[in-house]
C-alpha cells in the first residue's frame, strides 16, 4: 500500500511539472484584461487561431467601450507612496508605512496581519508601532478607506471623513461595534427600542450602505479593470452571469487546418504541428479557465448573498478550502483563480477574493492595540495580582473570546511582569 501511494505521488509530481500544465496554471492566473491581451498576441503569431465573428469584434482599451471599466492614471501603490513622501515622516514611521503600502492589494485591503508585518520587518518594530502607523497615517490617506482589514473598518474610516453630525456618526459607530447581530433590520429595531430617532437611524444606515468597499480600484495599475462576472439581485433572487461582452470568442481555423494536414501527411513539420497543438490547447484552456472562474465566482456570490442585498455588514466565513472542497478543486487552483479577478456587483466592482473571510467572530472584536490597553487597565486597577487566566476570564465575561496564551503574549509585549512578580 505504502509503495503504491509513493508511486502515485511521484506520478502526480511528474504531471505537475509538464510544460502544458504549467501553461494552463499561468492562464488560470491571468486577469480578464491580461487574458484578452494574450489571446490577441496568440492570434497574431498562430494562423490556426481565429476569432468568431471577426469583423464584428475589435478590442479597444477605450473608456467608451465598457460600462464597467476603470481607467487609471497612476498605480494605487505609487499614489500612496507620493502621499507618504509629502508628510515628512521620521525614518521609522516612513519604513513602516512603506511596508504596509506594499502589503495592500489592488482593492485597498490590507490582508497581512500585524504579526505578519512584524515578522516581515525582522521584529525591528513591534505590532504596536505598526498599528499606530496604520491607524494614524495610512488610514488618513486617500482614497478614504485605504488599508482596511475588514469591511467594517473600511466603513468606519470612510464615515470618519464624512461631514456628518455627531449624532449620525455615533449611531454608525454603535451599529458597527455591536456584535449581537449582523442583520441591519434587527439592529435598527434595537436602536429604536433604545430611544434613537428613526430618521437618524435610517440616515446612519444609508451612510453605511453608500460606502465604497473597494476604495483602491480607482487607482488600479493595470490600464483597465474588467470584471469576469456580473451579478444582480431581483426580489432577493441572485442572478450570476459570466460577462461575454467584448470578450473574443476563438476557434480553430478548420479550413486552414484541413489544407495543412494534407501537406503534413506528405511532409511532417514539427513547427506547424506545435502551432496546431498550441492552438487547440488555447481554445480549450480559455474555455476551461472561464468555466472555472464562473463556478468559483458563482459559489462565492451564493455564499455572500446577504452581503449583496441590504446588509453590507453580513459577510459570512468563507475560505479557499471550503470552496475547494465543495467544487472538488485543489485549494491552490482556487488561489490562482482569485488572483486579479473582479466582479461587477450592486455595490460596485470588487475583487472576488475580498469576499473571502477566514473567520468571523461572533464575539466582540478587538485590535492588538485595544487589547493591550485593556490588559494594562486591568493590571493597573487590580488590588491583588491577577493571573493571565483570570484576566482572560474577566475579558471573556465582557464579550471577548480570548485564550490565556493570548493574554500572556500581549502582556509580554507590554513588558509587564507576571502575577507572581507583581
Alpha-carbon distances, residue 330 vs 322, 326, 335, 355 (angstroms):
10, 10, 9, 19
If residue 342 lies in a helix (H) or strand (E), which one and from where to where?
strand 342-345
409 and 325 within one domain: no
327 and 244 within one domain: yes
Long-range interactions of 387-392: CB distance < 8 A, separation 24+: 387/418, 387/419, 388/418, 388/419, 390/419
354 and 233 within one domain: yes
Q: Is residue 24 domain-resident?
A: no
Q: CA 106, CA 88: separation in Å to the nearest integer?
A: 25
270 and 123 within one domain: no
Phi, psi (rounded to 5 degrees) for 342: -120, 155
166 and 239 within one domain: no
**Contact present, 154 and 210 (Cβ < 8 Å):** no
211 and 76 within one domain: yes
Q: Is residue 192 domain-resident?
A: yes
Q: Is residue 80 domain-resident?
A: yes
214 and 67 within one domain: yes
Q: Is residue 119 domain-resident?
A: yes
Angle, CA of 247, 108 and 317, to the nearest 5°: 85
**Contact present, 392 and 406 (Cβ < 8 Å):** yes
410 and 306 within one domain: no
Q: Which of 226, 244, 275 is the last residue of a domain?
A: 226
- Cα atoms in the 13 Å half-sphere on the side-chain side of 215: 29
Q: Is residue 147 domain-resident?
A: yes
The residue behind cell 468559483 is 296
314 and 399 within one domain: no
216 and 231 within one domain: no
Q: Is residue 351 domain-resident?
A: yes
Sequence-distant (6+) residues with CB within 8 A of 10 are: none
200 and 72 within one domain: yes
**Contact present, 149 and 110 (Cβ < 8 Å):** yes
Q: What totals of helices (H) and strands (E) does the chain contain, helices first?
A: 19, 6
Closest CA to 400 of 177, 99, 201: 177
Q: Is residue 55 domain-resident?
A: no
Q: CA 325, CA 318: separation in Å to the nearest integer?
A: 12
Give me the CATH number covering residue 407: 1.10.10.60
Structural domain total, the chain: 3
Q: Is residue 6 domain-resident?
A: no
Preceding peptide of 146 cis, ω within 30°: no
Residue 120's CB: how many other CB atoms inside 10 A? 16
Q: Is 286 helix (H, G, I), strand (E, B) or coil?
A: helix
Query: Going residue by residue through the chain (422 aa), what tens digit of pLDDT does each one get?
Result: 444 444 443 444 444 446 666 777 788 888 888 899 899 999 999 999 998 764 444 444 444 444 444 444 457 888 899 899 889 899 999 999 999 998 898 889 997 888 788 878 878 888 889 999 999 999 999 999 999 998 889 999 999 999 899 989 989 988 888 766 677 888 888 888 888 899 999 999 999 988 988 898 876 544 467 899 999 988 778 899 999 888 888 999 998 988 888 887 788 888 888 899 999 999 999 999 999 999 999 999 999 888 887 777 778 888 888 999 999 988 888 888 888 899 998 888 888 888 887 654 445 566 677 788 889 899 998 888 998 888 988 887 777 777 788 888 888 888 888 888 88
If residue 275 lies in a helix (H) or strand (E), which one and from where to where?
helix 270-303
187 and 212 within one domain: yes
Quote the domain boundaries for residue 392.
368-421
Q: CA 71, CA 39: separation in Å to the nearest integer?
A: 21
Q: CA 279, CA 103: separation in Å to the nearest integer?
A: 38
Amino acid at each position: 500500500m505504502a509503495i503504491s501511494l509513493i508511486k502515485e505521488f511521484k506520478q502526480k509530481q511528474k504531471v505537475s511539472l509538464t510544460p502544458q500544465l504549467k501553461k494552463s496554471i499561468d492562464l488560470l492566473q491571468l486577469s480578464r484584461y491580461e487574458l484578452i491581451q494574450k489571446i490577441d498576441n496568440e492570434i497574431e503569431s498562430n494562423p490556426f487561431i481565429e476569432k468568431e465573428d471577426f469583423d464584428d469584434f475589435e478590442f479597444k482599451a477605450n473608456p467608451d467601450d465598457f460600462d464597467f471599466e476603470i481607467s487609471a492614471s497612476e498605480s494605487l501603490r505609487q499614489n500612496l507612496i507620493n502621499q507618504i513622501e509629502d508628510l515628512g515622516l521620521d525614518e521609522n514611521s516612513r519604513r513602516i508605512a512603506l511596508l504596509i503600502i506594499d502589503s495592500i492589494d489592488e482593492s485597498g485591503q490590507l490582508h497581512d496581519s500585524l504579526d505578519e508585518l512584524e515578522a516581515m520587518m525582522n521584529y525591528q518594530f513591534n505590532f504596536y508601532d505598526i498599528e499606530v502607523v496604520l491607524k494614524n497615517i495610512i488610514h488618513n490617506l486617500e482614497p478614504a478607506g485605504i488599508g482596511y482589514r475588514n469591511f467594517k473598518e473600511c466603513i468606519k474610516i470612510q464615515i470618519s471623513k464624512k461631514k456628518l453630525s455627531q449624532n449620525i456618526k455615533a449611531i454608525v459607530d454603535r451599529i458597527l461595534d455591536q456584535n449581537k447581530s449582523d442583520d441591519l433590520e434587527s439592529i435598527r429595531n434595537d436602536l429604536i427600542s433604545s430611544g434613537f430617532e428613526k430618521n437618524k437611524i435610517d440616515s446612519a444606515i444609508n451612510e453605511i450602505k453608500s460606502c465604497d468597499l473597494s476604495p483602491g480600484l480607482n487607482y488600479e495599475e493595470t490600464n483597465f479593470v474588467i470584471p469576469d462576472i456580473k451579478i444582480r439581485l431581483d426580489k432577493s433572487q441572485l442572478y450570476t452571469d459570466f460577462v461575454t461582452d467584448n470578450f473574443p470568442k476563438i476557434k480553430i481555423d478548420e479550413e486552414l487546418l484541413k489544407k495543412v494536414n494534407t501537406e503534413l501527411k506528405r511532409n511532417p513539420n514539427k513547427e506547424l504541428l506545435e502551432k496546431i497543438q498550441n492552438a487547440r490547447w488555447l481554445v480549450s484552456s480559455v474555455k476551461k479557465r472561464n468555466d472555472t472562474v464562473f463556478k468559483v465566482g458563482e459559489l462565492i456570490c451564493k455564499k455572500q448573498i446577504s452581503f449583496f442585498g441590504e446588509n453590507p455588514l453580513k459577510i459570512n466565513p468563507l475560505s479557499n478550502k471550503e470552496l475547494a472542497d465543495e467544487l472538488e478543486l485543489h485549494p491552490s487552483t482556487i488561489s490562482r483563480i482569485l488572483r486579479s479577478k473582479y466582479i461587477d456587483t450592486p455595490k460596485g466592482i470588487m475583487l472576488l477574493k475580498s469576499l473571502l473571510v477566514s473567520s468571523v467572530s461572533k464575539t466582540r472584536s478587538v485590535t492588538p492595540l485595544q487589547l493591550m490597553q485593556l490588559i494594562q487597565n486591568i493590571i493597573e486597577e487590580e488590588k491583588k495580582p491577577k493571573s493571565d487566566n483570570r484576566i482572560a476570564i474577566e475579558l471573556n465575561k465582557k464579550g471577548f473570546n480570548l485564550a490565556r496564551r493570548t493574554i500572556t503574549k500581549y502582556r509580554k509585549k507590554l513588558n509587564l511582569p507576571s502575577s507572581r512578580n507583581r
